[in-house]
C-alpha cells in the first residue's frame, strides 16, 4: 500500500498525499500506518540543513504515536470499523510529513529550502496539527488498550497543539546574509568570501559536486517555472540563487571532486540500467523515432506525446498498437522510460531529445533572469579571465573547465563570457601540453562557438588553425571529437565554410576521425562534414579525401542508426553532382542502398536513401535504372514511402517510380538504350 516517494517523480515542496480507500480493512490500514511511521523515523539519520528543530519535534511526536499504534496492533485482534476515519486521517498526514522530510534532506535542494524555510516551518505546523485532528476522532472507548496508552494519546494531542514550529533562528540569519550577498551582486560589489563560506557551512555544502547539484536543481526548477508568468517573483529568486551557487562553485571551491567526469579525464561507467535494453522499446510505435516525451495510455502502451496527440486530433479514439477502443484519452507521463531514454542518448552520443515546450527551451536562458544572477555571472567572468591569464597550470585547467560547464546550457553565460574576452585565452590553451587542459579548453570553445558572436571572435583570433591542430593532433580522442563539433558550428557561417575547406588539414582530419572506433568521434566528424557540403567547392575536396568508400563501408558494417542516417545524408548530397554519382556507383552501392531502404527504421534515413537513389537515376543514366528495375523489393519500398515517408521522401519516391515505369515503356518499344549523360560521362554499374 505504501509507495516510497521518488525524488525524481515529485516536485519539491509538493505533497501528493491520498486518502486510503473506504473499503480498506482496519488492520491493513493500521499495519500500513505503522510501516509509514517507521519510514518517517528513518529520516532521523539524514542531514537537515534547515528546520532542524522542527524536524526533531516531529520525530518525537511520530515516535509517541507509533507506540500507541503498536499497542493497538498487539492487543486488539479485531479492530472496529469506526477507527478507519482516524487512521485514514493519520495516514494522510503521515504521507505529507514524509514528503516534507524528504524535501528537507534531499541533495541539491538546500539553497532553495533555505529561502523557503518560513514556508517549510508553516508546513510542519500544519501537518502536526493534522496529527491532533486524526487522534481527536479516534474512538478510544471501542478499543481494548491500557490506560497509559490512552493518557499518551491525550498528551500527544496537547503537545502538538502547543508546539510553535517557528523557523529556526539560524535559518533566518542565513537567509538574511544570503539576501545581502545577492544585493551586492546587483550593485556590482564583490561579496566577502568569509560570509559566503558561512552560508555554505550552514547548508552543509562543502565540496564542488554538492554545489553543482544545487545549480542543476535550480536550473531544472527555472525550466519548469519559465512558462508560469504568474509567479515572476519566484522565477527571479531561483535565477538569483542559481547565480549565487554558480559563483560559489567556481570561486569558493578550488578543486573539483570525483563526481566531475572531465577535469582530470575521469570516465563514468555505463549505467547498469541500460544493459540488455532493446532500443526499439525507446522508440515511438507511431513515428519510429526516439521518444522525447513518452506517455502511457489506458491500454498500457506508450507513445511519444506529440505523435499520439496527432493521432487523437485525426479523430481516432483507439490504441494505435492494438486497435483497442480507449476508455480514456488521458496521457500519463512515463517518467521512468523518459529517464532511460535520456540516459541512453547521453551514453551513446545521441543528441538528447527534449520536450518542445517553452520550459524546456534553452532560449529561455538568453537572459540571466534576475539582476543578481546577471551581476554574479559578470563578476564570475572577470574572475575566470584572471585565472586564465595569471593562474597556475592547475588553475588555468579549472578555469577552462568551469567555462565549459557554465556555457553548456545557458545562452546568457555564453554571451557574457564571449563579451568578457575569454576566447583568445582559451585558444592559447589549445597548445597546452596538458591533455586535460587542452580538452577542457576545446570543449569550452565548442560551447562558445554556438554563440553568433563567438564564431566571429574565434575566427578573427586565428582560432581555426588551432582547432584543426587539435582535430589532427589532439592529445586525447575526446579533444579531437570536440574539435570536430566546433568546426560544425563554425561551418554554419558561409565565410567559415570556405575557410575550413581551404585549410588543407581540415577535411582530411574529419575523414580520418570517421575511421575512429569511438562513436562520438564518428558522429561529430560526420555532422561537420555534412555542414561543410553546403559550400559547393567542398564537394570535390571530400571526394578527393576518399570519403565515399569509407561511408559505404560504414553503411555495410554499422549497426547504429544515427551513423547510418548521417552517412546517408552526406552521400545523398554528394550524389547530387555527377562526380559524386560516379564515385558512389563505382563502389557498387545500388544493392546496398535498396537493402537499407528496406530495413532502415528511421524516416529521415529512408528519406536520404530515396534522395540518393533519385540522384543516381538522374545522373547515372539508363544503365542505373536498368539495374534498379531488376531488384524485386525496390518497388514495394518506394510505394511504402508514398504513404509512410516524409513529404519529401514521398515526392522523390514518386519521381523514381515514374522513371522506372518510363523505362519499362521505352524498353518494351525499343531495343536500344540511350543514356541520359553524354557517353564520356556514362557509368557502367557492376
Confidence at 343, pLDDT banded by 50, 70, 90: confident
At 19 the pLDDT is 82
Instruction: Please say if the pLDDT value at position 282 is more than 90.
Output: no
- Strand order of the sheet with strand 302-304? 302-304, 294-296, 332-333
Cell of 487: 568546426
First vs last Cα of the chain: how many Å apart? 68
Cell of 255: 578543486
Beta carbons of 36 and 94 less than 8 angstroms apart: yes
Mean pLDDT, residues 99-104 taken together: 94
Determine how β-strand 302-304 pairs with β-strand 332-333.
Answer: unpaired
Mean pLDDT, residues 662-669 taken together: 76
Beta carbons of 49 and 113 less than 8 angstroms apart: yes
Lowest mean pLDDT among 332-336, 508-512, 581-585, 636-640: 332-336
Number of other residues whose CB lies within 10 A of the CB of residue 42: 11
Helices (H), 348-493: 371-390, 393-406, 411-420, 422-429, 435-448, 452-460, 463-473, 477-490
The residue among 519, 432, 531, 445 whose CA lies nearest residue 482 is 445
Cell numbers 469506526 label which residue? 82
Confidence at 351, pLDDT banded by 50, 70, 90: low
At 274 the pLDDT is 54
More confident residue, 22 or 46: 46
Percent of the chain residues topping a pLDDT of 90: 53
Helices (H), 204-304: 208-225, 232-251
Confidence at 518, pLDDT banded by 50, 70, 90: confident
DSSP letter assigned to residue 166: P
At 93 the pLDDT is 92
Number of other residues whose CB lies within 10 A of the CB of residue 657: 16
At 463 the pLDDT is 95
Quote helix, strand, coil % in the chain, to nearest 5: 70, 0, 30
At 224 the pLDDT is 79
> Which residues lie closer than 8 Å to 593 by C-beta, 6 or more apart?
609, 612, 613, 616
Beta carbons of 120 and 50 less than 8 angstroms apart: yes
At 685 the pLDDT is 39
The residue among 671, 663, 569 whose CA lies nearest residue 621 is 663
Report the sign of the C-alpha dihedral through residues 605, 609, 610, 614, in that order.
positive
Confidence at 276, pLDDT banded by 50, 70, 90: low
Instruction: Please say if the pLDDT value at position 564 is more than 80.
Output: yes
Mean pLDDT, residues 330-341 taken together: 81
At 663 the pLDDT is 85
Instruction: Please say if the pLDDT value at position 468 is more than 50.
Output: yes
Cell numbers 515511438 label which residue? 284
Beta carbons of 545 and 558 less than 8 angstroms apart: no
Instruction: Please say if the pLDDT value at position 441 is more than 90.
Output: yes
Cell of 289: 523515432
Helices (H) and strands (E) in the chain, counts: 32, 3
Per-residue pLDDT reduced to its tens digit, 570-601: 999 999 999 999 999 998 888 899 998 888 87
Confidence at 366, pLDDT banded by 50, 70, 90: confident
Please give the backbone phi and psi of residue 283, each rounded to the nearest 5 degrees, phi first.
-105, 150
| Strand ranges for 494-601 from DSSP E | none
Cell of 545: 579525401
Per-residue pLDDT reduced to its tens digit, 407-439: 988 899 999 999 999 999 999 999 999 999 999
3-state DSSP assignment of residue 293: coil
Cell numbers 555505463 label which residue? 270
More confident residue, 1 or 405: 405
The residue among 660, 650, 676, 596 whose CA lies nearest residue 627 is 660
> Which residues lie closer than 8 Å to 92 by C-beta, 6 or more apart?
17, 18, 19, 20, 130, 134
Instruction: Please say if the pLDDT value at position 112 is more than 80.
Output: yes
Lowest mean pLDDT among 195-204, 317-326, 408-417, 637-646: 317-326
Confidence at 632, pLDDT banded by 50, 70, 90: confident
Give dist(CA 637, CA 78) in Å, integer: 69
3-state DSSP assignment of residue 295: strand
| Strand ranges for 39-128 from DSSP E | none
Instruction: Please say if the pLDDT value at position 183 is more than 90.
Output: yes
Lowest mean pLDDT among 271-280, 354-363, 503-512: 354-363
Lowest mean pLDDT among 28-37, 159-168, 198-207, 226-235: 226-235
| Angle in degrees, CA 578, 583, 587, rounded to 5 | 140
Which contacts qualify for 38-46: CB closer than 8 Å, 24 or more apart? 38/66, 39/2, 39/4, 39/98, 40/94, 40/97, 40/98, 40/101, 41/66, 43/98, 43/101, 43/102, 43/105, 46/101, 46/105
Give dist(CA 116, CA 91) in Å, integer: 25
Please give the backbone phi and psi of residue 546, each rounded to the nearest 5 degrees, phi first.
80, 30
Mean pLDDT in the chain? 86
Percent of the chain residues topping a pLDDT of 70: 90
Amino acid at each position: 500500500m505504501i509507495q516510497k516517494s521518488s525524488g525524481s517523480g515529485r516536485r519539491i515542496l509538493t505533497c501528493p498525499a491520498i486518502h486510503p480507500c473506504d473499503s480498506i480493512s482496519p488492520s491493513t490500514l493500521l499495519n500500513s500506518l505503522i510501516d509509514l511511521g517507521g519510514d518517517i523515523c528513518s529520516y532521523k539519520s539524514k542531514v537537515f540543513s534547515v528546520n532542524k528543530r522542527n524536524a526533531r519535534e516531529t520525530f518525537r511526536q511520530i515516535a509517541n504515536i507509533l507506540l500507541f499504534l503498536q499497542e493497538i496492533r498487539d492487543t486488539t485482534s479485531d479492530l472496529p470499523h469506526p477507527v478507519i476515519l482516524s487512521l485514514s486521517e493519520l495516514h494522510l498526514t503521515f504521507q505529507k510529513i514524509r514528503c516534507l522530510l524528504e524535501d528537507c534532506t534531499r541533495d541539491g535542494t538546500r539553497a532553495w529550502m533555505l529561502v523557503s524555510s518560513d514556508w517549510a516551518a508553516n508546513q510542519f505546523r500544519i501537518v502536526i496539527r493534522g496529527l491532533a485532528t486524526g487522534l481527536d476522532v479516534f474512538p478510544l472507548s471501542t478499543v481494548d488498550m491500557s490506560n497509559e496508552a490512552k493518557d499518551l494519546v491525550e498528551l500527544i494531542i496537547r503537545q502538538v497543539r502547543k508546539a510553535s514550529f517557528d523557523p529556526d533562528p539560524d535559518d533566518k540569519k542565513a537567509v538574511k546574509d544570503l539576501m545581502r550577498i545577492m544585493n551586492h551582486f546587483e550593485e556590482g560589489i564583490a561579496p566577502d568570501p568569509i560570509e559566503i563560506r558561512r552560508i555554505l557551512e550552514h547548508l552543509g555544502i562543502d565540496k564542488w559536486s554538492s554545489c553543482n547539484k544545487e545549480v542543476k536543481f535550480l536550473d531544472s526548477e527555472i525550466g519548469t517555472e519559465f512558462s508560469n508568468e504568474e509567479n515572476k517573483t519566484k522565477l527571479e529568486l531561483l535565477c538569483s540563487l542559481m547565480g549565487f551557487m554558480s559563483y560559489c562553485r567556481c570561486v569558493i571551491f578550488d578543486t573539483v571532486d570525483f563526481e566531475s567526469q572531465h577535469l582530470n579525464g575521469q570516465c563514468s561507467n555505463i549505467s547498469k540500467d541500460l544493459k540488455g535494453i532493446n532500443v526499439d522499446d525507446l522508440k515511438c510505435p507511431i513515428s519510429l523515432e526516439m521518444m522525447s516525451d513518452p506517455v502511457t495510455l489506458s491500454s498500457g502502451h506508450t507513445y511519444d506525446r506529440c505523435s499520439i496527440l496527432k493521432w487523437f486530433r485525426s479523430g481516432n479514439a483507439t490504441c494505435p498498437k492494438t486497435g483497442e477502443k480507449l476508455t480514456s484519452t488521458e496521457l500519463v507521463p512515463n517518467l521512468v522510460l523518459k529517464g532511460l531514454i535520456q540516459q541512453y542518448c547521453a551514453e551513446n552520443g545521441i543528441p538528447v531529445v527534449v520536450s518542445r515546450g517553452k520550459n524546456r527551451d534553452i532560449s529561455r536562458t538568453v537572459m540571466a533572469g534576475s539582476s543578481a544572477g546577471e551581476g554574479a555571472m559578470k563578476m564570475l567572468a572577470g574572475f575566470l579571465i584572471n585565472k586564465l591569464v595569471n593562474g597556475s597550470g592547475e588553475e588555468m585547467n579549472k578555469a577552462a573547465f568551469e567555462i565549459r560547464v557554465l556555457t553548456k546550457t545557458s545562452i546568457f553565460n555564453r554571451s557574457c563570457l564571449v563579451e568578457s574576452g575569454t576566447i583568445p585565452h582559451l585558444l592559447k590553451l589549445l597548445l597546452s601540453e596538458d591533455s586535460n587542459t587542452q580538452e577542457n579548453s576545446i570543449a569550452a570553445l565548442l560551447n562558445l562557438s554556438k554563440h553568433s558572436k563567438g564564431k566571429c571572435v574565434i575566427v578573427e583570433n586565428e582560432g581555426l588553425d588551432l582547432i584543426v591542430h587539435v582535430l589532427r593532433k589532439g592529445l586525447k580522442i575526446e579533444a579531437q571529437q570536440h574539435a570536430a563539433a566546433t568546426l560544425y558550428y563554425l561551418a554554419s557561417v558561409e565565410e567559415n565554410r570556405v575557410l575550413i575547406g581551404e585549410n588543407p588539414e581540415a577535411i582530411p582530419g574529419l575523414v580520418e576521425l570517421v575511421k575512429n572506433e569511438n562513436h562520438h568521434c564518428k558522429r561529430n566528424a560526420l555532422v561537420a562534414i555534412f555542414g561543410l557540403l553546403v559550400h559547393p567547392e567542398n564537394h570535390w575536396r571530400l571526394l578527393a579525401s576518399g570519403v565515399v568508400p569509407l561511408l559505404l563501408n560504414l553503411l555495410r558494417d554499422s549497426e547504429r542508426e544515427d551513423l547510418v542516417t548521417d552517412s546517408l545524408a552526406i552521400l545523398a548530397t554528394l550524389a547530387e553532382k555527377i562526380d559524386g554519382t560516379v564515385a558512389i556507383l563505382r563502389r557498387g552501392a545500388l544493392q546496398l542502398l535498396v537493402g537499407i531502404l528496406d530495413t532502415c527504421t528511421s524516416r529521415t534515413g529512408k528519406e536520404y536513401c530515396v534522395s540518393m537513389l533519385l540522384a543516381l537515376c538522374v545522373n547515372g543514366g539508363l544503365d542505373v535504372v536498368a539495374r534498379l528495375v531488376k531488384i524485386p523489393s525496390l518497388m514495394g519500398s518506394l510505394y511504402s514511402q508514398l504513404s509512410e515517408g516524409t513529404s519529401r521522401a514521398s515526392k522523390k519516391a514518386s519521381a523514381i517510380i515514374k522513371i522506372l515505369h518510363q523505362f519499362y515503356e521505352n524498353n518494351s518499344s525499343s531495343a536500344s538504350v540511350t543514356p541520359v549523360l553524354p557517353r564520356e560521362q556514362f557509368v557502367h554499374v557492376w
